[in-house]
Structure 1
């Protein structure tokens, strides 16, 4: 069941995971270190962030902490929302 949290601004980055067992795709998104979320947390967002930008690109997105029944927590951002590409 989704957690009753609000969306907030989170800086994330694309990366190549060392282990891909159970993951879909080659490039993934994670929170940048130094924020309230650990880098081990998965981020569900627009696939264009992993497809249209080089690995290591950082983005500012609106996301909320949520979970799936029988699964762990992750950050969710609606794929149609605007994204700020950071330098």
Structure 2
């Protein structure tokens, strides 16, 4: 559910392997890179699956996204799967296709 008045921002994100996937879908996830005001690294990112399936773990991207919240749940960053993204750096981890 959109947060009223929330604007889209260019956000640097990275792929990672969470220590626990309980309640999560898939093995590789996307999170904001630390140090960005308003986007702590513990937020989940909903975006194109290409970011988690086509690049090595640890790859950093620049995406257009905004803060959203789940009704009765937590906040997350939303970026349409159809939107372009920029690869900033290639990670050194494995490419995990599932």
- TM-score norm. by structure 2 comes to 0.86
Give the alignment's Cα RMSD to 1 decimal: 0.7
Structure 1 residue ranges, 4+ long, deviating more than 2 angstroms after superposition: none
Give 1:21's aligned residue: 22
Q: Distance in 1 between matches of 2:49 and 2:77?
A: 14
Q: Give the gaps of 5 or more residues in structure 2.
A: 90-98
Aligned residues: 87
Q: Give the gaps of 5 or more residues in structure 1.
A: none
Shift of 1:81: 0.4
The 5 A counterparts of 1:5-44 are: 5-36=6-37, 37-44=39-46
Larger Rg: 2
